[in-house]
Amino acid sequence: MEKALLVGVWTKDKEEWEFDDSLHELESLLKTAGGEKAFELRQKVHELHSATYIGKGKLAELKQAVAELNPDLVIFDNELTPVQARNIEKEIDCHVIDRTHLILDIFALHAKTKEGRLQVELAQAVYRLPRLVGMGKEMSRLGGGIGTRGPGETKLEAKRRVLVLKIRELKKELKALKKQRGIQRKTRIDRHIPIVSLVGYTNSGKSTLLRALSKDQDIYVADALFATLSPVTRKVFMPSRSTVVMNDTVGFIQGIPHTIIEAFMATFEEIRFSQLLLLVVDASDPRYEAKINASRRVLDKIEASDIPVLLVFNKCDLLDEAKRELIRTQYPESVLVSALKKTDLPNLLDAIEAGLRRETAEKTNRQTF
């Protein structure tokens, strides 16, 4: 098991609890990737250092910690520029990655479908492109001028050409899959089958909930971050004997990197075509309110914030009655369930049907006026 030294920088745009949560989440990500924390270093800054992200004093402290603990790598909770990562590596003599890099490594571990693997490959390629070793003047020669083509090009430029071509090819393949998914979606829409998508923070129990509602035990479920990367679609039969199509989607995370949003846009598109979103929340998480807000920010980023949302508090079997009552008071229109224990699922199905009826009525009113 690889040992990692975690580094968190608390900037003025974050509350203290957000900073603490983010570092705790980084440790969870590390465990999911198969590593363990050797040590944690924190710094509060008012202004970031462009060359090394952290100041000279903290960099010296980091160098000493690396020398004493001999970790396999250092992971920054913040996204580093290519130059910053190389400068830090040079100073501390240890491999350095950032939060985005770690998330992409986890995605690579969990990608099981063709679409999932393609999306991960694309995100990794886009992330690596500006991080090719030796950036600077060499990287400014993008392969289009005199003396930069053919056999005379540098190894760096050759690598860059290969990566650019790979990105182009991956986008082409994903576009074809997107078209195919669009045809399937149009068929469902033409048959007037409502689409309901499960969204929310990673590891909130979305896959377990879909398994319980669809009664399909073959749906992959794991107690790990980002266990689901590609949309999983199943039919769910409602109390009125109607049918809905339900999608399980990739989980959200605090400060989801733009690189990942871009690469997974085909997956997020399934969310945008939904008539109703089930925002699944881990009710046993002390920071569930923050996770709800983070999930809503992601919905805004992927242009899905105008779709009706039904809050579903999962894992309620882990709560006492006082805590359940508090959630009901805070969120009176939410539904409390336990996907694992299969409790209160009929109430959820009734709420889904009611939400879809409201959406249909509102849509009719919009068309009328």
User: What tokens does 194 get?
Assistant: 């409502």
Contacts of 48 (CB under 8 A, 6+ apart): 9, 11
Q: How confident is the model at residue 85 (pLDDT cuts 50, 70, 90)?
A: very high
Helix (H) or strand (E) holding 232: strand 232-237
Checking if the pLDDT of 210 tops 80, the result is yes
Q: Which of 131-135, 204-208, 295-299 has the lowest mean pLDDT?
A: 131-135
User: What tokens does 344 get?
Assistant: 């209160």
> Residue 284 and residue 315: Cα distance in Å, rounded?
6
Distances (CA, A) of 179 to 118, 173, 185: 15, 10, 10
Q: How confident is the model at residue 90 (pLDDT cuts 50, 70, 90)?
A: very high
Contact (Cβ atoms closer than 8 angstroms) between residue 324 and residue 316: yes
Share of the chain above pLDDT 70, in %: 89
Amino acid, single-letter form, for residue 208: T
pLDDT score of 190:
67
CA neighbor of 276 nearest in space, from 303, 233, 308, 243: 308
Quick: pLDDT tens for 23-56. Answer: 988 998 999 899 999 999 999 888 888 999 999 9
pLDDT score of 224:
60
Q: CB burial class (10 A; 0-12, 13-18, 19+) of residue 224? A: middle
> Residue 281 and residue 274: Cα distance in Å, rounded?
19
Distances (CA, A) of 99 to 23, 218, 338: 10, 32, 31
Q: CB burial class (10 A; 0-12, 13-18, 19+) of residue 301? A: middle
> Residue 355 and residue 347: Cα distance in Å, rounded?
12
Give the pTM.
0.79
Quick: pLDDT tens for 67-76. Answer: 999 999 999 9
Q: Which of 105-119, 146-160, 287-301 has the lowest mean pLDDT?
A: 146-160
Checking if the pLDDT of 216 tops 60, the result is yes
Checking if the pLDDT of 212 tops 50, the result is yes
User: What tokens does 282 get?
Assistant: 């881990």
CA neighbor of 124 nearest in space, from 145, 100, 144, 143: 100
Q: How many Cβ atoms sit within 10 Å of the Cβ of residue 88? A: 22
> Residue 233 and residue 250: Cα distance in Å, rounded?
12
Q: How confident is the model at residue 145 (pLDDT cuts 50, 70, 90)?
A: very low
pLDDT score of 332:
96
Amino acid, single-letter form, for residue 12: K
Q: Choose from 162-166, 324-328, 357-361 the range with maximum mean pLDDT.
A: 324-328
Q: How confident is the model at residue 230 (pLDDT cuts 50, 70, 90)?
A: low
Quick: pLDDT tens for 297-316. Answer: 889 988 899 999 999 999 99
| Beta bridge mates, 277 | 197, 309
Checking if the pLDDT of 9 tops 50, the result is yes
Quick: pLDDT tens for 336-352. Answer: 999 999 999 999 999 99
Neighbouring C-alpha atoms within 13 Å toward the C-beta of 242: 16
Distances (CA, A) of 262 to 39, 124, 223: 33, 11, 26
Domains of the chain in start order, with CATH, are 2-105 (3.40.50.11060), 191-368 (3.40.50.300)
Rounded mean pLDDT of 203-221?
A: 89
Contact (Cβ atoms closer than 8 angstroms) between residue 81 and residue 105: no
CA-based Rg of the chain, rounded to a whole angstrom? 23
Q: Does residue 188 or residue 9 have the better pLDDT?
A: 9
Checking if the pLDDT of 141 tops 50, the result is no
> Residue 231 and residue 250: Cα distance in Å, rounded?
7
